[in-house]
Homo-oligomer: A and B are copies of this chain.
Amino acid sequence: MKIAKLAKGISLKRPLEGGNEEQLTVVRQVLADVRTQGDIALRAYTERWDGYMPTSLQVTKEEIQKAVNDLDQQLYQDLAEAAKNIRLYHEQQSRHGYRLELGDGSWLGQRVTALDAVGLYVPGGTAAYPSSVLMNVIPAQVAGVKRIVIASPAGRDGKIPAGVLVAAQLLGIDEIYKIGGAQAIAALAYGTETIAPVDKITGPGNIYVALAKREVFGEVAIDMIAGPSEIAILADDTAFPDEIAADLLSQAEHDPLACAILVTTSEQLAKKVAEEVEKQLEILPRQEVARASIENFGVIYVAETVSDAVEAINSLAPEHLEIMTNNAEAIAEQIRHAGGIFIGRYSSEPVGDYFAGTNHVLPTNSTARFASGLNVDDFVKKSSIVYYSEKTWQDNAPKIARLARMEGLEGHARAVESRGWKKE
């Protein structure tokens, strides 16, 4: 792993997979076909691309029960405990509206309501993570979303990975469809004969899924399109090199485009971490992926002072930040931009990926400057309410009419003035 002196202008930016014209053309065709032909197109694309023609698009109760029965009981308990922790954390995010009395009986309000229906896309194969089901579904449930649907492509054996079904069952979700790719996004956005449309689509996917989500955006809501994962670690000489190396590699093993960065005030630590990374890489099952990430995007920066290091982190705005220093909590207070912050030696980042309760869907690619991890707010919307009494109207109508006329909108002024001066 490279070691460099910390300088201005360090960055997390990696080449982004934006999709090419050919892929976009395919996606637009699929969207149009599912929109106009519904289930027929959905089945045809499923057969062509997933190599499987489902007798029923929807997963049956028996399939779900079988997945639950087959799972190791200890793992089922672990998943259930993780779900409980995630629910507890997200319940603190519940919102209520408000009512602001203006006097004379007038009031303004804000009403917070859950979305009616949400669809979660779960990628197929080895990327089908039960933890993703927990992280996407629980905030929606806490928000009060009544209908939550999962779409995930079946393998050539016609099956969806058992872990996904078990996670769904744990949360009481039973509307699960064996569909994937752009055709799944189309079905969720537009609806078909058998699948009612949803209002928002969340969850990761390949480039076809990402392009399809971008295309249907506006017609339905989508979550952020996530980039490859990142970790930045801020450490001083009190930290343990092997622990830092292990945490850097836990991000690097996700993706050759993942980015793992250490910023440290200790030159000695820098050297030891570099050695440890190499040592641990050699015995890591996903060595090839992790090595590509570390070699291309991994850097250890040596900073002169802790405050230089903090400023560097704020300019990176990383998805994940670990702080392993003296007074780590006080340093965390100085961080303005980071998706998830992990304080101290025992808060290894995977703790948050699976179990602690915080969400693992976090803003990548420096978007933590303005974006947040998935949370309950993502599944509600707010309406404003105005109630003006006759008295309040009388007192304020001339002012409102003047403001409207200032903007050249005579019709607005007349609407406000149309009350009261007549009939009865």
A interface residues, Cβ below 8 angstroms from B:
74-75, 78-79, 81-82, 88-89, 92-93, 98, 100, 108, 110-111, 113, 115-116, 126, 129-131, 163, 199-200, 218, 220-221, 225, 240, 242-243, 246-247, 249-250, 252-254, 280, 284-286, 290, 329, 332, 335-359, 362-363, 365, 367-373, 375, 377, 381-390, 392-393, 396, 399-400, 402-404, 406-416, 418-420, 422-423
Chain B positions within 8 Å of A79 at CB level: 403
When the two chains form their complex, are residues A411 and B116 in contact, meaning their CB atoms are under 8 A apart? Answer: no
State whether A243 and B419 are in contact (beta carbons under 8 Å apart), knowing that A131-B407, A199-B370, A403-B354 are contacts in the complex.
yes
Q: Are A345's CB and B108's CB within 8 A?
A: no
- Nearest chain B residue, comparing its CB with the CB of A248: B415
A115, B369: Cβ atoms closer than 8 Å: yes
Taking a contact as CB atoms under 8 Å apart, the answer to whether B116 and A89 are in contact is no
The answer to whether A290 touches B411 (Cβ under 8 A) is yes
For residue A100, give the distance in angstroms from its CB to the closest CB of chain B.
6
B341–A385 touching, CB < 8 Å: yes
Q: Given A75-B403, A403-B82, answer yes or no on A253-B409 (Cβ-Cβ < 8 Å).
A: yes
A250 and B415 contacting across the interface, CB-CB below 8 Å: yes
A408 near B126 (CB under 8 angstroms)? yes
User: Which residue of chain B has its CB nearest to the CB of A375?
Assistant: B382
Contacts known (A341-B385, A347-B388); A108 close to B89, Cβ less than 8 A = yes
- Chain B residues near A254 (CB-CB < 8 A): 409
Which residue on chain B has the smallest CB distance to residue A405?
B75
B-chain residues with CB within 8 Å of residue A375 when the two chains form the complex: 110, 382
Contact indicator B351/A388 (Cβ below 8 Å): yes
**Shortest beta-carbon distance from A415 to chain B in Å:** 4
> What is the CA–CA distance of A337 and B340 in the complex, to the nearest angstrom?
32
Q: Known contacts A253-B411, A356-B108, A402-B74; is A342 also within 8 Å of B386 by CB?
A: yes
The A interface, classified by DSSP as helix, strand, loop or mixed, is mixed
- Docked complex Cα distance between A252 and B93 (Å): 39
Q: State the Cβ distance, A318 to closest chain B Cβ, in Å.
A: 11
**B163 and A407 contact, CB distance less than 8 A:** yes
Q: Across the two chains, which residue of chain B brings its CB closest to A162?
A: B406
Q: How many copies does the complex hold?
A: 2
In the assembled complex, the Cα of A61 lies from the Cα of B89 at a distance in Å of 48
Nearest CB in chain B: distance from A360 CB, A: 9
Given known A113-B336, A350-B412, A406-B163, contact A386–B81 (CB-CB < 8 A):
no
When distances are taken between beta carbons in the complex, the residues of chain B under 8 Å from A247 are 415, 418
A350–B247 Cα gap in the complex (Å)?
56
CA distance A410 to B286 in the complex (A): 8
- Taking A108-B356, A369-B116, A413-B350 as contacts, is the C-beta distance between A332 and B385 under 8 angstroms? yes
B residues less than 8 Å from A115 (CB atoms): 369-370
| Shortest beta-carbon distance from A352 to chain B in Å | 5
B residues less than 8 Å from A240 (CB atoms): 423
**Smallest distance from the beta carbon of A19 to chain B beta carbons, Å?**
13
Which B residues are CB-close (under 8 A) to A365?
Answer: 218
Tell which of B163, B246, B385, B396 touches A415, judged by Cβ atoms closer than 8 Å: B246
Given contacts A354-B400, A355-B403, 4 further A-B contacts (CB under 8 A): A218-B225, A253-B410, A341-B385, A373-B384
Contact between B396 and A355 (Cβ–Cβ < 8 Å)?
yes
Q: Is there an interface contact between A382 and B373, defined as CB atoms closer than 8 Å?
A: yes
Chain B residues with CB under 8 A of A402: 74-75, 78
A192 smallest CB distance to B (angstroms) = 17
Task: Identify A351's interface contact among B199, B400, B420, CB under 8 A.
Answer: B400
Q: Are B110 and A93 in contact (CB under 8 A)?
A: yes
Q: How far is the CB of A387 from chain B (nearest CB, A)?
A: 4
Residue of B nearest to A344 (CB): B387
CB distance from A359 to the nearest CB of B (A): 6
Chain B neighbourhood of A363, CB < 8 A = 381
> Which of B221, B336, B410, B412 interacts with A353 by CB under 8 Å?
B412
Partner of A389, one of B252, B346, B355, B393: B346
Docked pose: A372 CA to B131 CA in angstroms? 29
